[in-house]
Structure 1
């Protein structure tokens, strides 16, 4: 369901309730989609990917970082790649 930004501002509680019931609310600005409001149950992407068989959980635990080692994101890890791809 699409909603203009102006209507979202005026009736925010109503649109949050719609998202809570499972409906995706697409927020538009001058008719162009700019954001999506969805209920928290539908926001867990990893759970959905596992359920759909598109992602397999790790079979062994991830090793702990060594002291002084930079986090994976700072080294250009997967999360950095995803951030760049979403731009």
Structure 2
């Protein structure tokens, strides 16, 4: 089933539900196919990729923290900074 990008954006939840039910969705941009949405069952996929050597198990199980790094502080509202970058 094909869906234009604009329709996909407007109705994303509905299209994701269709994919979960097993449908394959081809996303088009001005009539040209640009992406394919298919259901993914990540657990078997990760196990297969690990067996094939594409992925590896983490060496550490503890998650890293950002301790010791200085926190960035804005000297003015972030909206002003964003506005400047958009110009």
Higher helix share: 1
Q: Larger Rg: 1 or 2?
A: 2
TM-score band (shorter)? Answer: 0.3 to 0.5
User: TM-score, normalized by length of structure 2?
Assistant: 0.47
